[in-house]
Amino acid sequence: MFMPNHKSKSAHETTTVLVVEDDRLFREMLCEIVQLLQPTWTVCEAVNGQQGVEMAIARRPDLIIMDFNMPLMNGYQMAMALQQKSETRAIPLILSTCEDYSHPLVARLRSICMAVLFKPFSLRELGHILEKIQPAQVHLGASQHFMPEAARLELA
């Protein structure tokens, strides 16, 4: 179970998700899917890891879904940058990647991210992860992670 650690939501505040993805079509699709699965949540977007870090600092989202392979700053570099800042280190991360578990940086990210979605992932997998994130439970401590069995599977 997730427990908030530094930011509690009141009943009228909405959960904010930052989607960081360089592929425009995939980013737009992912934003639409998150909005369909969680219609009360606010979804914002960034086109690369550098912009993702800047937006995370400025907007303090409750969750970040980030791609691994991006220009300017990849997902690993972005995660490390977020971990170094006290104001962003507790934001839960979901990694979205076409790399497999054997990639050394993906393996390192698995210990930082609450879930890893291997592209192409199903709507069911994403929905399962988002269902586990409730507005009162969004800010995790760095040692608390959620990785459902479905997200652990590498899809063909």
Quote the pLDDT of residue 42: 95
Quote the pLDDT of residue 126: 87
Quote the pLDDT of residue 118: 81
Quote the pLDDT of residue 31: 96
Quote the pLDDT of residue 97: 80
Quote the pLDDT of residue 100: 67
Quote the pLDDT of residue 148: 42
Which bin fits 96, alpha (ψ -120 to 50), beta or left (φ > 0)? beta
Q: Which domains does the chain have, with CATH numbers?
A: 16-152 (3.40.50.2300)
Quote the pLDDT of residue 112: 82
Quote the pLDDT of residue 154: 36
Q: What is the pLDDT of residues 17-32, one digit of tens each?
A: 999 999 999 999 999 9
* Residue numbers of the chain with a pLDDT score lower than 70: 1-12, 98-104, 106-107, 133-156
Quote the pLDDT of residue 113: 85
With a CB cutoff of 8 Å and minimum separation 6, the contacts of 102 are: none
**8 A C-beta contact, residue 56 and residue 30:** no
CB atoms within 10 A of CB 47: 17
